Amino acid sequence: MSDKLKVGILGGTGMVGQRFISLLENHPWFEVTTIAASPRSAGKKYVEAVGDRWKMDTPMPEKVKDIVVMNVNEVEAVASQVDFVFSAVDMSKDEIRAIEEAYAKTETPVVSNNSAHRWTPDVPMIIPEINDSHTDVIEFQKKRLGTTKGFIAVKPNCSIQSYAPVLYAWREFEPYEVVATTYQAISGAGKTFKDWPEMVGNIIPYIGGEEEKSEQEPLRVFGKVENGVIVKAEEPKITCQCIRVPVLNGHTAAVFVKFRKKPTKEQLIEKLESYSGAPQALKLPSAPKQFMRYMTEDNRPQVTEDVNYENGMGISIGRIREDSIYDYKFVGLSHNTVRGAAGGAVLCAELLKAKGFITKK
Ligand SMILES: NC(=O)c1ccc[n+]([C@@H]2O[C@H](COP(=O)([O-])OP(=O)(O)OC[C@H]3O[C@@H](n4cnc5c(N)ncnc54)[C@H](OP(=O)(O)O)[C@@H]3O)[C@@H](O)[C@H]2O)c1
């Protein structure tokens, strides 16, 4: 029998679910044994349930094709087959909140891509390189849920990944005011150009709910654990506009920053390039060797050239320069469905396994 942990993918037929299945194809610690989706897909083989909806560049892994898809709502049945689950279902927030808690209460850890629990006070929202210490709230969450092994951990929104780690790497210079504009790929809406032809050559200046997440979520990631809950940071104040652009994969952010202790450009670059966190120290399987790189060319980072840096888990930064109103401005790029969604969640699960929170049942 395999020593790998048995994983279920809730919402495995969707775009993020497919990304989980692709990323986990040859994972050294985790093996996808169970896939669950809506009642529409339940009872069908995975290959049939997905049909012509496979959106990955690589072929569907052979190992999952014949897995019979289960109904996400049959919590006990799904949970009994796995050691933990990744959640990428698309349901209402209330339904997701309830179903993720129901899985946790069956003693099944849930690592979620969804936003439903991002502000639940005792649920950690983790970028593993930044706030791995937020796992300290899990013991308080378990007390609330009445569980010994079951809990929920989440990853933050894809839009913040191109600038929040950068601001964190610069924290000793005390950034206090930030203006960001994000240029977000269509895969962030679960779409390709085939199913969203209106996006070809187009820009849409609205992504529902995204600006608030982009302004607030970094503060929770930068926050600290106090009395069993996460208290968000007060600074930097962030204001953000989120724009949908005709790009398949890759969110770009153009950002202006004011610092209390204004650094030199060389200091800013040095802080980015020397930054590393728990995933690098623990040598987690999906950890990028270098989390953030600085590109000196004036025309980088570019989506087509740079989005797959470090297998889509690294962040590319360029164009740091002084500004006439703010102190500095820069451009950041990250892969929205890898670092920003499934890859970020896989790294989070690796961190939780390495710290002993996820074990065999
Ligand atoms: N795309 C991204 O980059 C991204 C990034 C961050 C967060 N998210 C979030 O992640 C979630 C999934 O996104 P996605 O783009 O993968 O969506 P998607 O492609 O529409 O997939 C949705 C998944 O949820 C299942 N589902 C839908 N309605 C359901 C129901 N009533 N009961 C049970 N299962 C149901 C679907 O099953 P069927 O196939 O059977 O319908 C499918 O497996 C969403 O909440 C989204 O907001 C997405």
pLDDT tens digits for range 252-282: 999 999 999 999 999 999 999 999 999 999 9
Most ligand 1 atoms within 8 A of CB, residue of 16, 73, 191 to mutate = 16
Residue type, 206: Y
The yes-or-no answer on residue 251 being catalytic is yes
Pairing of strands 292-295, 315-322: parallel
Closest ligand 1 atom to residue 157 Cα is 6
Give catalytic status of residue 158 as yes or no. yes
Predicted local distance difference test score (pLDDT) of residue 1? 55
Q: Does the beta carbon of 17 lie inside 6 Å of ligand 1?
A: yes
Model pLDDT, residue 340: 96
* pLDDT per position as a tens digit, 190-211: 899 999 999 999 999 999 999 9
Q: How far is CA 343 from CA 126, 161, 213, 289, in A?
A: 12, 12, 19, 14
Counting atoms of ligand 1 from 1, which one is nearest the CA of 188? 3
Residues whose CB is less than 8 angstroms from the CB of residue 145 and which lie 6 or more positions away in sequence, other chains included: 101, 104, 105, 151
CA nearest 334: which of 175, 179, 217, 160?
160
Query: Between 57 and 334, where is the model more confident?
Result: 334
Q: What CA–CA distance (Å, rounded) separates 361 from 358?
A: 9
Q: How far apart are CA 265 and CA 269, in angstroms?
A: 6
Confidence check: pLDDT of 40 > 70: yes
Count of Cβ atoms closer than 10 Å to residue 267 Cβ: 14
Report the pLDDT averaged over residues 242-260. 98
The DSSP string of 289-349 is SSSEEEE-STT-S-HHHHTTGGGGTSEEEEEEEE-SSSSEEEEEEE-TTIIIIIHHHHHHH
- Is residue 13 within 8 A of residue 21, CB to CB? The reply is no
Q: Is the pLDDT of residue 126 over 80?
A: yes
Q: How far is the CA of 14 from the centre of ligand 1 (A)?
A: 5
Expressed in angstroms and rounded, the spacing between residue 118 Cα and the centre of ligand 1 is 17
